[in-house]
Each structure stands twice: as C-alpha cells, then as structure tokens.
Amino acid sequence: MLEARQAVRKLKQYQPPLGDRSGLRLDFNENTGGCSPRVIERLRQIPPEQLACYPERAPVEHEVASFLGLQSEQVLLTNGVDEAIHLVCEAYLEPKDQALIVVPTFAMYQICAGATGARVISIPADNDFRFPTAKVMAHTTAPKTRLIAIANPNNPTGTVASAEDLLLIARSAPQAAVLVDEAYFEFYGESLLEYAGQVQNLFIARTFSKAYGMASLRVGVLAGAAEQVQSLRRACSPYNVNGVALACLPAALADREYVRRYVAEVQASRNRLEEEFRRLGIPFWPSQANFVLARIGPSHGDFVRGMKARGILVRDRSSDFGCEGCVRITAGWREHTERLLGALRVTLTEIGWEEKRPA
C-alpha cells in the first residue's frame, strides 16, 4: 500500500476550528470588518477573460518591492506567509538538519519543518512568554541548525523579541535561515525589513491577511537577500499567487489610509480589552498584535462555548505549550470590541468567574 514519507506520517494534523464560523469572528486574528473598499471596487472590475489567464506575478512583485523600499530581486510574493514558511523549509532543510522554534508559537513552523524530516527543537519561552534569546543561542549549533523561525510579534502570546536580539541570533548562525515572521507588523510598528539583504541569512515575512483584511485572497511577501530569494524562486510555482489577489494588491497598497485607520482601531480595542481584563482580575499578556491572550482558567471551555452561544467566536489556546486555561481574542474594529465586552461580562458571570478567580 502507498504510504507517505515517515516524516509526514509522524506529523500531527493541524486542524484549526473552521466549521461553523457564523457570528463575530474573533478567533483567527483576521480583520474583523473586511478589506479596503478600493480592493472591492477593483475586484468588481476584473474582466472574465482575466480569470482564464495564468497570473503574472512579476509586475506586482515589483510594486510591492518598491512599496517596501526593496529591490524586486529581494522580494517573492507567496500564497500567504504559510507558503513562505513552506518554501524556506523546502529550500534549506535536509532530514539530518535541525530547526529551532520558540514555543508557544504559530503551528506552521513545526509542520513545514517537520515535513522535511528535519528535527524540530522547541525552545520554551522564558517567564511571561519573554523571548528566550540566551536559550536560542545556546541551542544553535553549526552546521546542524539550519532554520530558526520566529514570529515577531508572536502568536498566540502577542509578545515581541527585540531587533537587537534577532539580529544577534541571525549573525551568530550564518549557516541557518533565520525567518522572522512579521505577520502582525502593522500593529507593532517595528521591523527588521531594512536588514533584508544586509544580513545574508535573514528572511522577513509579511502578510496581507491581517491588517489589510485579505486573508481569503492568500497573499504574503517574503523578503531577503537577492541570492537567497533566487533559490526560493527555483522551488516555487510561477503561479503560486492567484490572479485575483494580484489584481487587487496594488489597490490595497494604495489605500494607506485604510490600514492606518484599522491599526488605530485595533490599538484602541486592544487597550480596551486589556483594561477590562485588568479590571476583572483576569491574567493576560500585554500584546503588540491584533489579539490578546488571557488566562481564563479551568473553565476556559465553558467560556468559549458561552461566548459562541452569544455569537462571538474566540479561540481556545489551552493546549498550546504553557497556555493552560488560555483563550486568545482578536481585537478589531471598536464597535466589535464593544459587542465582545458585553458578551464577555455575561459569560464570565455565567461560568462563575468571580467565585473561581485566584485570590
């Protein structure tokens, strides 16, 4: 009987709770409203014959590169950051290699690195999910360590690593591809993009799924040194990004005001949510992303179900490393946050949070 490679057979299936997602979706860190109206306008103008054509990535890649202040050769558009992760793993990892990740973190690093047959080493975050720079450095060995994947800000914690530490790691492991995943960059504001090209083993990933509200179109960007990006192009389909996404991307880039407004909304919502957790005595981790992780405790399952019954989807993260009893809630448009807070108070009363809260 046909069998998948052993490395693939050993993978745990990543099953995000899609299914019935009716309600206010605060479970996947998406834009809670949608994308720029200019993108919708552009979408409506796509002539039917354009759908019959294979997509042409290069001209849009050129526009994205100039938007980011990079050369076109340094930029690869991908089918979301998910594909960027996949390509980096495919291009650099052999079964004898090691990949380092800091947990808890985004699941796709483990999956894509593990699928190559490489050994994935999970380094626990320091107290309060602080980035464990010293531990990462201590686990990095040449020539074995060939990938270090870091989400900055991190998902599901919303915590960040300093640019200084990330550069130190990249410079001290020239044999490793260091992937800094900046999917939540817009909500944080700090980036390593200016080092793409300067530090030859550094890759920066960005997405249009979050602040830009285009998760369904599946577009991401991978930036790095031109020679490295050239290697990744070899392993990549020329049609990896669909034509509808490519047609809409310039409109999304042009509407800077939309992203600016949304980021301001998210930051205000994040503050509201954190204030409310503080007031209620619910432990949480201050976040630099568009979500907040909070420790509801043993009744986390009842909380998630209670919120769902009130039409609000939030994400149970209690099975992630170090996240026992934790729930992650997306911060989006302020009107959505007000709805969320109403349901949150009623649900906490229903599950008896007051009686169960730690003294």
Would you tell me which residues interact with ligand PLP (CB under 6 A)?
29, 80-82, 106, 151, 155, 181, 183, 207, 209, 215, 220
Q: Is 154 exposed, middle or buried (0-12, 13-18, 19+ CB in 10 A)?
A: buried
| Residues paired with 204 in a beta bridge | 180, 223
- Closest of 143, 150, 96, 144 to residue 123, by C-alpha: 150
User: CB of 189: closest distance to ligand PLP in angstroms?
Assistant: 16
Q: Which is nearer to ligand PLP, 202 or 348 (CB)?
A: 202
CB–CB of 68/205 below 8 Å? no
Q: Which is nearer to ligand PLP, 29 or 98 (CB)?
A: 29
Residue nearest to ligand PLP (CB): 80
User: CB of 141: closest distance to ligand PLP in angstroms?
Assistant: 25
For the record, the structure tokens of 218 come out as: 């599946």
Q: Which is nearer to ligand PLP, 27 or 276 (CB)?
A: 27
CB–CB of 241/219 below 8 Å? yes
User: CB of 214: closest distance to ligand PLP in angstroms?
Assistant: 9
Q: Which is nearer to ligand PLP, 114 or 306 (CB)?
A: 114
Q: Which is nearer to ligand PLP, 291 or 353 (CB)?
A: 291
Cα–Cα distance list, 217 to 14, 40, 189 (Å)? 21, 12, 24
Contacts with 171 (C-beta within 8 Å, 6 or more apart), sequence order: 199
User: CB of 155: closest distance to ligand PLP in angstroms?
Assistant: 3
- Closest of 307, 12, 327 to residue 156, by C-alpha: 327
User: CB of 84: closest distance to ligand PLP in angstroms?
Assistant: 8
